[in-house]
Amino acid sequence: MTADLFDAIADVQPSREAMADGAVLLRGFALRFETDLIPALREIVAQAPFRHMSTPGGHQMSVAMTNCGNAGWVTDRTGYRYDGVDPESGQPWPKMPAVFRELAAEAATEGGFENFSPDACLINRYEPGARMSLHQDKDEQDFAAPIVSVSLGIPATFLFGGLKRSDKPARFRLVHGDVVVWGGPSRLFFHGVAPLADGEHAAMGRQRINLTFRKAR
């Protein structure tokens, strides 16, 4: 990529799309971080590879996961929780890179939530056909902090509902570089991802990577 093209990307002002009270979609917000973001992501995956975790009910998730930061979200037959240690390696999760923290904090501020300092980043890998059923992010100790979700790779349909699972979710098409921020009145809204359609992204291949930043503890 040429310097002129990098400058052109830097000059583009991401657009905002209101999703609900306390929730906003920042189109293309992560693109200016891309040069450092993707190499940092690859280093994390080299240290803590993706794995398909199992739910407490014993079902293997179609989405592969890993984590970075002081806490990592894990699921197994004992339940959902945050743990400072990777259960597969017995080692602490990789440290959260500076570019991750910077992106999360700036996106949160843009979404109306200042001083966001995440201690956990759940990294999900969606391959064609993978999905995430409607759920709430409620394993964190403090719901005052927002959720910041970054999309990389092929497009996905993000489902954003309400406080009840039965609430009909709105559908948002997310593409590489889009960031969703939600908190406040929307913090416990049900959300998910429709089955991923096949495709290929120049930098990420036939997959979608989702970075979900949280204040877990």
In this prediction the pTM is: 0.93
pLDDT tens digits for 9-66?
Answer: 444 567 999 999 999 999 999 999 999 999 999 999 999 999 999 999 888 999 999 9
Q: State both tokens at 43.
A: 């280093």
* Residue 121 forms part of a structural domain: yes
pLDDT tens digits for 170-215?
Answer: 999 999 999 999 999 999 999 999 999 999 999 999 999 999 999 9
* Residue 101 forms part of a structural domain: yes
Question: Do 84 and 62 contact (CB within 8 A), yes or no?
Answer: no
* Residue 6 forms part of a structural domain: no
The domain in which residue 154 lies consists of 16-214
CA–CA distances in Å: residue 90 to residues 85, 94, 124, 127: 6, 12, 20, 27
Domain count, the chain: 1
